[in-house]
Amino acid sequence: MPPFHLAFPVHSLAAAREFYGELLGCPEGRSSDAWVDFDFYGHQIVAHLAPEETGHGSTSAVDGDAVPLRHFGVVLSIPQWEELADKLRAAGTRFVIEPHVRFKGEVGEQATMFFLDPSGNAVEIKAFADMSSLFAK
């Protein structure tokens, strides 16, 4: 699968480095005084210094949760997801949506969690026990 590329605004490159690099464990790539690349589980995300563009906005109702409308993330294996959820809890991360299983017993059952980075960008981390259900209807 080809890696995706996502650019997003942050209020501080130092805070982005701490959050994505140290907390989430994403290796840093190229950077400048205005942006920094991270290897987000094999995908390229780029934090651009643009404080005026940051902040969390609207939500949408999904399976009883108020899901941040604008968000990005990655789909991990169940063991990776559980390990990251434990690490985030231990670090005192405030979750927008606590780690849990959504659509239990249905097609598309998935583990999910939502949290905000220091600039208010919403991040979702998912996992499927059966990856073939990723696009199942």
Residue 31 is which amino acid? Answer: S
Instruction: Supply the CATH classification number for the domain 5-52.
Output: 3.10.180.10
Q: Which of 63, 64, 109, 116 lies closest to 88 in space, CA to CA?
A: 116
Q: Tell me how far apart the alpha carbons of residues 35 and 1 are, in angstroms, rounded to a whole number.
A: 26
Q: Can 5-52 and 59-133 be said to share one CATH topology?
A: yes
Q: Which fold has domain 59-133?
A: 2,3-Dihydroxybiphenyl 1,2-Dioxygenase; domain 1 (3.10.180)
- Its pTM stands at 0.91
Percent of the chain with pLDDT over 70: 100
How many Cβ atoms from other residues are within 10 Å of residue 82's Cβ?
A: 14
Res 111: pLDDT:
96
Res 1: pLDDT:
85
Low-confidence ranges of the chain (pLDDT < 50): none
Q: Tell me how far apart the alpha carbons of residues 20 and 9 are, in angstroms, rounded to a whole number.
A: 13
